[in-house]
Amino acid sequence: MEYPDMKSTNIAGSRYAYKVHKQNDEVPYLLMLHGFMGDHRVYDHLIEPLCTFCNPITVDLLGHGKSATPEHPKHYREEQQISDITSLISNLNYSPLWLYGYSMGGRLALKIALTHPNLFRGLILESTTCGIPDSNNRKERRAVDAERGKAIKDDFEAFLNSWKKLKLFQSPLPTNTSLIDNYQRIQSEQSPPALAASLGGFGSGAMTPVCNELNQLDLPTLLIAGSADEKYQQINMSIVDKLPDATFSSIPAGHRVHLDNPSVLIQEIEHFVTL
């Protein structure tokens, strides 16, 4: 994987790769965290329009892209990843900035914002959950994630073929086929052992839920979910009622709004960060 203009830094013994796409202190900085099996490149098609009103910063989360790929779940526990990303933010010295997260990256973004709200001007969560409150449901999800981790290590290609067929990722609108092909190529280039470890350490079942702590997050927050993603529509409508300063936007798309409907997503982001 060749990533031009990527920088890297060592944080707590792990390499983190990141890219600052523009540096203009007169406009906001926006740190973007990708989802499971992605890396910073899944946002490449958004960067040019984002640069018209902000400074995008993309990062490869632990176990993904050019960042370190440890193969034990302990490295992916939420406390460690929260500490790592806050250290990266401190090193970059662009705070307070806006924080954006999709799916797994959104769960991490929410955790970071709750523990370090002073670092941020606001939060944007795409297709994100606050965790699984019920302990039995969390246990069931951990079992599902363990099965998926085993499938990833046993036959990654077969796993990817089944993953892309999930109803969750179906879009109600025609999606750019080149973007889909590129997305799937990015996924195929990830490290299977690292992905399995990531699921074990910070899958939805491993995450400590924060649904009862949302009233403590006094940050402007934009929640986004695809119109065809019924599960996350319901989750986000529940979350928005618990946050002190939040709005919810339903965009015609599936789970991956940034892939299915990038133009409308950009409009929502611009409106939110330039108010």
Is residue 120 one of the residues assigned to a domain? yes
d(CA 150, CA 166): 18
Is residue 2 one of the residues assigned to a domain? no
Q: Please write the tens of the pLDDT for every residue from 130-147.
A: 999 999 999 999 999 999
Is residue 1 one of the residues assigned to a domain? no
Is residue 172 one of the residues assigned to a domain? yes
Region 209-223: mean pLDDT is: 97
pLDDT higher than threshold 60 for residue 272: yes
Is residue 130 one of the residues assigned to a domain? yes
pLDDT band for position 75 (cuts 50, 70, 90): very high
The overall average pLDDT reported for the chain is 96
CA dihedral 135, 136, 141, 147 (to 10 degrees): 130
Domain hosting 102: range is 7-273
Number of independent structural domains in the chain? 1
Q: What is the CATH number of the domain that holds 86?
A: 3.40.50.1820
pLDDT higher than threshold 70 for residue 2: no
d(CA 39, CA 225): 20
pTM of the model: 0.97
Is residue 187 one of the residues assigned to a domain? yes
Is residue 166 one of the residues assigned to a domain? yes
Region 183-197: mean pLDDT is: 98
DSSP bridge pairs for 102: 126
pLDDT higher than threshold 90 for residue 178: yes
Do residues 69 and 31 touch, judged by C-beta distance below 8 A?
A: no
pLDDT higher than threshold 70 for residue 195: yes
Q: Please write the tens of the pLDDT for every residue from 13-70.
A: 999 999 999 999 999 999 999 999 999 999 999 999 999 999 999 999 999 999 999 9
Is residue 30 one of the residues assigned to a domain? yes
CA dihedral 128, 129, 131, 135 (to 10 degrees): -140
